[in-house]
């Protein structure tokens, strides 16, 4: 490994910790064509961001992202801030010729995502690459599911079931975070976790959603404001605030393309799925079989082969821990499990390899824009409410 790619990370919350882990660990396990170096982490609170730099191993910290983006000694800008600042930072970084990795969802609105995609296309002409952080694409079992579908092992896709089930908001007294504020997060469960379900369903099947019908609702409309701490681990204050996003998003969708049957999908994104912690589930039913993934059992892929002898049919569980499986070989001896954090290393591997090969990594900003359009259509459908018919006279 000779070349280096010097990274600046903007933001230092939960995703800052996860991305730092990815930048640090990936070059230690994977034989990368260029070494990412952790130059500077940026945040508004000088003391807090300095502590984060120290804890996660960044060489320095800074409080002004514009100054950092203008630096000649930065090659990659990694954006892990809340959604309301993605567009401004990403467009500035791309216009400055930096490669950009941006957390999901790409933006808070379709208009922002369009502007970001246009900036990414302009910058690509000068060699700058851009990617959205739909990290779960890099879970080995998900990559294997995609491979099996692409190899025709489940035949033609007929139906998709996708859900992202969490329960971290079921306590009505759990405090507000930026994720519950529409001006900061764009939407609630829909954009925060539903975006993952949409991306994975499309990634695994290779199909694109072309129309949706949805309903959003908010279970707890008022919560204590955040007292101490940040984000998901903050404590409650005595003041209260209004939740301006959805807690639950349900929608159906039809995948487009071609003249034949267009598969149907059903989607659910909720932070009120009592008992489910990080249940990102995608199941694809095909004419010759099915694949089924659940993030709560991320080292496993369930596979049903409908071509097997009738007496031997049934879902079987593939333990995705072997060196022939995607991303696995550089880690541990065969048979050893990976965890939540490994996806962030795999994301670094894929991004660095695409940059050094001069290729457009996926998911691109155009992919992120498409997801944004799906989310927007679900929200508009919910507001229109036209598909609801009364069942009582």
Residues near ligand SOE, by CB under 6 A:
14, 166, 192-193, 196, 278
Task: Provide, rounded to whole angstroms, the least separation between the CB of residue 55 and ligand SOE.
Answer: 19
Between the alpha carbon of residue 210 and those of residues 85, 114, 373, 392, the distances in Å are: 28, 18, 10, 32
Task: Provide, rounded to whole angstroms, the least separation between the CB of residue 174 and ligand SOE.
Answer: 12
Q: How far apart are CA 158 and CA 263, in angstroms?
A: 5
Q: How far apart are CA 99 and CA 79, in angstroms?
A: 11
Kindly tell me which of 133 and 263 has the beta carbon lying closer to ligand SOE. 133
Which strands sit side by side in the sheet containing 130-133, from one edge to the other?
60-62, 34-42, 3-10, 76-79, 99-103, 130-133
Q: How far apart are CA 43 and CA 280, in angstroms?
A: 30
Task: Provide, rounded to whole angstroms, the least separation between the CB of residue 86 and ligand SOE.
Answer: 13
Kindly tell me which of 14 and 332 has the beta carbon lying closer to ligand SOE. 14
Task: Provide, rounded to whole angstroms, the least separation between the CB of residue 331 and ligand SOE.
Answer: 21
Ranges of H-type helices in the chain: 14-29, 46-56, 65-69, 86-95, 110-125, 140-150, 182-185, 189, 195-205, 342-357, 365-384
Kindly tell me which of 193 and 212 has the beta carbon lying closer to ligand SOE. 193
Kindly tell me which of 128 and 163 has the beta carbon lying closer to ligand SOE. 163
Nearest to 62 by CA among 21, 19, 18, 11: 11
Strand 99-103 to 76-79 pairing? parallel
Cα pseudo-dihedral 361, 293, 164, 388, rounded to 10: 110
Task: Provide, rounded to whole angstroms, the least separation between the CB of residue 163 and ligand SOE.
Answer: 13
Task: Provide, rounded to whole angstroms, the least separation between the CB of residue 278 and ligand SOE.
Answer: 6
Kindly tell me which of 189 and 292 has the beta carbon lying closer to ligand SOE. 189
- Contact indicator for 176, 232 with CB cutoff of 8 Å: no
Kindly tell me which of 278 and 360 has the beta carbon lying closer to ligand SOE. 278
């Amino acid at each position: 490994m000779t070349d280096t790619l010097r990274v600046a990370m903007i933001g230092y919350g939960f995703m800052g910790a996860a991305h730092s882990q990815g930048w640090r660990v990936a070059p230690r396990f994977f034989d990368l064509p260029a070494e990412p170096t952790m130059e500077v982490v940026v945040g508004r609170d000088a003391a807090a961001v300095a502590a984060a730099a120290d804890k996660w191993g960044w060489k320095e910290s800074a409080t002004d992202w514009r100054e950092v983006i203008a630096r000649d000694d930065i090659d990659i800008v990694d954006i892990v801030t809340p959604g309301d600042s993605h567009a401004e930072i990403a467009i500035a970084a791309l216009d400055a010729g930096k490669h950009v990795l941006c957390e999901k969802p790409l933006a808070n609105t379709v208009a922002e995502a369009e502007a970001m995609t246009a900036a990414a296309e302009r910058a690509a002409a000068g060699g700058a690459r851009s990617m959205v952080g739909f990290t779960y694409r890099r879970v080995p079992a998900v990559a294997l599911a995609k491979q099996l579908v692409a190899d025709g092992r489940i035949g033609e896709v007929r139906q998709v079931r996708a859900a992202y089930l969490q329960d971290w908001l079921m306590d009505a007294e759990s405090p507000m975070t930026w994720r519950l504020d529409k001006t900061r997060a764009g939407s609630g469960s829909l954009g925060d976790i539903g975006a993952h379900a949409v991306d994975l369903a499309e990634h695994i099947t290779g199909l694109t959603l072309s129309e949706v019908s949805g309903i959003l609702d908010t279970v707890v409309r008022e919560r204590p404001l955040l007292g101490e701490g940040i984000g998901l681990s903050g404590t409650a204050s005595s003041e209260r605030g209004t939740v301006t996003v959805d807690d639950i998003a349900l929608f159906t969708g039809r995948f487009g393309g071609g003249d034949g049957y267009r598969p149907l999908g059903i989607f659910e994104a909720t932070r009120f799925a009592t008992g489910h912690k990080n249940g990102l589930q995608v199941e694809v039913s095909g004419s010759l079989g099915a694949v089924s993934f659940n993030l709560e059992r991320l080292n496993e892929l369930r596979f049903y082969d409908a071509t097997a002898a009738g007496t031997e049919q049934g879902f079987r569980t593939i333990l995705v821990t072997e060196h022939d499986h995607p991303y696995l070989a550089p880690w541990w001896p065969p048979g050893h499990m990976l965890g939540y954090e490994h996806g962030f290393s795999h994301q670094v591997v894929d991004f660095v390899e695409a940059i050094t090969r001069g290729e457009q990594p996926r998911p691109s900003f155009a992919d992120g824009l498409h997801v944004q359009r799906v989310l927007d259509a679900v929200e508009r459908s919910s507001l229109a409410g036209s598909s609801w018919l009364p069942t009582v006279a």
